[in-house]
Amino acid sequence: MKFSADALLFDSDETIVSSIKSVFRCWSQWADAHGLTIAEIMEVQPHGRPAAAIVADLLPADEVAPALALLEQAEVDDAIAGGVVPIPGSQELLASLPVDRWAVVTSGTRRVADARLAAAGVRATHVITVDDITHHKPDPEPFLVAAERLGVDPQRCVAFEDAPAGLASARAAGMATVAITTTHDASALDADVVISDLSAVTTCATDAGVELTIAV
């Protein structure tokens, strides 16, 4: 399958970087410290949601800020310690793109996103985090902000996502979507095309934008 775009937008966790083991370690430790279980965390459908929204569902309001700070530091430390690796094909794909033709759009905080991308060997000039927006995925705002930062028409972007909330966000922004089956079965992912990882994607940058070829 082929796409022509002005820019490519990528979710971070389980799209560019594999952080699932790190996430499990950090959330398990956090749950223990707050008298919770992983099962209770999973009940609030955490994947693709900002940590602040998840923690707010689990703890009293006056406990949220310190609990978030504890979790964020644990996730940064785990990434620095080597708990994050690149998704197959991500380093090669991103290295093939001009820096003004792609951005990362994540529901993580700036500190966590920067730590994980660095740990995976990814250098991103444009990173949109939960700290940059008012409404998070599945609202279209994160992807619309990314398109604005790059100075491109949202309808000329292709978004890469692994979670239903992220795909819904990109669709609502008017973008073509590519789903990656790192966290969900293909049947749960509503996208223009579904792939297993970024090794299926090749690009050719031109003066007019980016030409994509996706092996399906």
The CATH number assigned to the domain holding 97 equals 3.40.50.1000
In the structure, what pLDDT confidence band is assigned to residue 46 with cuts at 50, 70 and 90?
Answer: low
Give catalytic residue positions: 11, 13
Q: Which residues contact 206 (CB under 8 A, 6 or more apart)?
A: none
- Among candidate residues 31, 60, 80, the one where a domain is terminated: 80
Residues 103 and 48 in one domain: no
Residues 76 and 91 in one domain: no
Residues 36 and 76 in one domain: yes
Residues 201 and 96 in one domain: yes
Residues 118 and 60 in one domain: no
Q: Which residues contact 162 (CB under 8 A, 6 or more apart)?
A: 11, 13, 14, 15, 48, 179, 180, 181, 182, 183, 184, 189
What pLDDT does 53 receive?
87
Q: Based on the structure, what is the number of domains in the chain?
A: 2
- Among candidate residues 33, 58, 80, the one where a domain is terminated: 80
| Residue that the structure tokens 């990314």 belong to | 146
CA dist 98 and 102 (Å) reads 7
Residues 31 and 106 in one domain: no
**DSSP 3-state assignment of 108?**
coil
- Give 29-40 pLDDT, tens digit per residue: 999 999 998 888
Residues 59 and 93 in one domain: no
Residues 36 and 99 in one domain: no
The DSSP 8-state label assigned to residue 210 in this structure reads E
Cβ atoms of 143 and 105 within 8 Å: the answer is yes
Residues 119 and 150 in one domain: yes
Return phi, psi of residue 30, to 5°. -65, -45
**Which domain does 174 fall in, by range?**
2-18+85-214
Can you give the length of the chain in residues?
216
In the structure, what pLDDT confidence band is assigned to residue 45 with cuts at 50, 70 and 90?
Answer: low
Distance from chain centroid for Cα 50: 11
| Residue that the structure tokens 């490519």 belong to | 8
Residues 55 and 136 in one domain: no
Residues 119 and 190 in one domain: yes
Residues 54 and 11 in one domain: no
**Alpha helix positions (H), the chain:** 20-33, 38-42, 51-58, 61-80, 90-95, 110-119, 141-150, 164-172
CA dist 192 and 216 (Å) reads 11
- Among candidate residues 38, 60, 80, the one where a domain is terminated: 80
What pLDDT does 170 receive?
98
- Give 58-97 pLDDT, tens digit per residue: 999 999 999 999 999 999 999 999 999 999 999 999 999 9
Cβ atoms of 101 and 157 within 8 Å: the answer is no
